[in-house]
Amino acid sequence: MPDRNPPLFTRVLIANRGEIALRIVRACREAGVESVAVYSDADRGLPFVRAADHAVGIGPSPAGQSYLRVDKLLAAARDSGAGAIHPGYGFLAERADFARAVEDAGLVFIGPPSAAIQAMGDKTEARKRMIAAGVPVVPGSEGPVTDPAAAAVVANALGFPVLVKAVAGGGGRGMREVHREADLAGALTSAASEAEKAFGDARVYLEKLILRPRHIEIQILADEARTIHLGERECSIQRRHQKVVEEAPSSAVDARLRDAMGAAAVAAATAVGYRGAGTCEFLLGADGRFFFLEMNTRIQVEHPVTEMVYGVDLVREQLRIAAGHLMSLPETPPAPHGWSIECRITSEDPSNAFLPSTGKITYLSSPSGPGIRWDAGYESGDEVTLHYDSLLAKLIAVAPTRPAAIDRMQRALEELVIVGVSSNQAFLRRLLSHHDFRRGEIDIAFLDRNPHLASPPADEEALLPAVILAALLDAERRHTVRPVVAEGATTGSEWLRVARREGLR
């Protein structure tokens, strides 16, 4: 029999950056595990680097020369004495070849086995496995499609509209809606080209486009003894297939539907021998029918809302399971308690087609108070570059009911002050005030139907200079000094802090 309580790792390397890297650093510290941050030239002074117990530079700012270099990550793990690697989300998190390389190097990959990532990473193969496991899937082609004539036959059999989707990857890249046959060939070409650039795999396939569905995902946890689910997250507020606001639970899901979707997610995970934390994504139709979309074989950006309503530390559970422990949850999984909403705070200008905004954050004041959580990748004085995605932070609110959670989030968004780069803060406040959102009448096309939310009303725009001036005056009064921790140190003197600050600069 295996040892049920082997020790946790001594040291874990985090193959990621920003807020998720800092989130993992914190989980490691609470578990008594040392953390190793890796950083590119652009990130050398960010909070996750300063917070980690050790930090290793891995190269130039472009991700292709740093965070996506498997050889550099493995070398950093070897040189720092790390026994395991946590991939976070994005970058290499769902690359089976990376997980396999970690395993082959004699290290522990804090995630599912490479075989499970491989099985779920190929969307057409995953569909076949789900059908075999009895999990309902969206009707679609049996495999990749390349020839426009053959694709037209499949599309007409499915019935327009259809969706062209990349076999590999996700996040809306390599995806095109097609509402008539005349547009199909062009959509195949453009989707394949985008998929090739994003994932190195140009294969695409067809799915029936479900009109105005809700996007519901189920959180699962699996160890060597059992697989459970921790309810649903509502992720229907999306822009170009990128999630903007998430919540748990969903106003469209009752206990019966939660049980049915949860059972399907557990069946999906079991079918591929899953271990660790993962998410099954479903489309939920207005008639109550749901269809499997894909499985994200990693921790999700929106995992905090599940943590808030289920009282579970999902990253801590990832560490436990990867180290050979059983999950710490009781035999009867907890029920959801209260309501949680997450807003993604991004450095984008909604009034200018959501173009990315870069530069130095000259002042940042984060919200706090009852029921508020702030998971951030940046602080005042940090530089936001074009090398990575636009996520600055995640703002999470929890309250006893959905209306109370919305009100709490609105209050927190009012408290938030960001100066130096544009953000989507005001856009989020307008979104949460929309009468349909407050009633829970949402679907994945909600933002498409409400493009006016991106543009501020005249009175709001007129107040902006005054708000910025007030924030700058407050910053000047505070004379804020950012703390810096010496590389390799968990505590210690001001001398070490100064040494690390100068070294990282």
- What letter would DSSP give residue 361? -
Predicted local confidence at residue 173, as pLDDT: 85
Q: Is residue 453 within 8 Å of residue 434, measured between CB atoms?
A: yes
User: 78 is written with which tokens?
Assistant: 């070897």
pLDDT digits (tens, 9 = 90+) for 221-254: 999 999 999 999 999 999 988 999 999 999 999 9
Higher pLDDT, 460 or 392: 392
The phi, psi pair for 73, rounded to 5°, reads -65, -45
**Sign (positive or negative) of CA dihedral 85, 89, 92, 96:** positive
pLDDT digits (tens, 9 = 90+) for 408-437: 999 999 999 999 999 999 999 999 999 999
The H or E element that residue 439 is part of is helix 435-439
C-alpha span between 354 and 150 (Å, rounded):
37
Domain covering 11-110 assigned CATH 3.40.50.20 in the classification: yes
Annotation: CATH topology of 139-208: Dna Ligase; domain 1 (3.30.1490)
Predicted local confidence at residue 486, as pLDDT: 41
Closest CA to 203 of 190, 194, 193, 192: 192
pLDDT, average across residues 42-64: 98
Q: Is residue 8 within 8 Å of residue 293, measured between CB atoms?
A: no
pLDDT, average across residues 42-49: 97
C-alpha span between 28 and 294 (Å, rounded):
29
- Residue 445 CA, distance from chain mean position: 20
C-alpha span between 128 and 444 (Å, rounded):
25
User: 408 is written with which tokens?
Assistant: 């709490």
Burial of 9 (0-12, 13-18, 19+ CB in 10 A): buried
- What letter would DSSP give residue 413? H
pLDDT of 493 strictly over 50: no
Provide the percentage of residues in the chain whose pLDDT is more than 70: 89
Residue whose entry in the numeric block shows the structure tokens 């679609």? 140
CATH superfamily of 113-138+212-337: ATP-grasp fold, B domain (3.30.470.20)
C-alpha span between 165 and 177 (Å, rounded):
9
Could you confirm whether 298 is annotated as catalytic?
A: yes
Q: What are the domain boundaries of the chain?
A: 11-110, 113-138+212-337, 139-208, 343-479
- Quick check: do 113-138+212-337 and 343-479 share a fold? yes
Spot the catalytic one: 298, 344, 402, 500: 298
pLDDT of 484 strictly over 80: no
pLDDT of 322 strictly over 60: yes
Number of other CB atoms surrounding residue 347 within 10 Å:
25
C-alpha span between 284 and 432 (Å, rounded):
22
pLDDT, average across residues 251-259: 96
The phi, psi pair for 146, rounded to 5°, reads -130, -40
Choose which CATH entry (1.10.357.10, 3.50.50.60, 2.60.40.420, 3.30.470.20) describes domain 343-479: 3.30.470.20
The H or E element that residue 153 is part of is helix 148-158
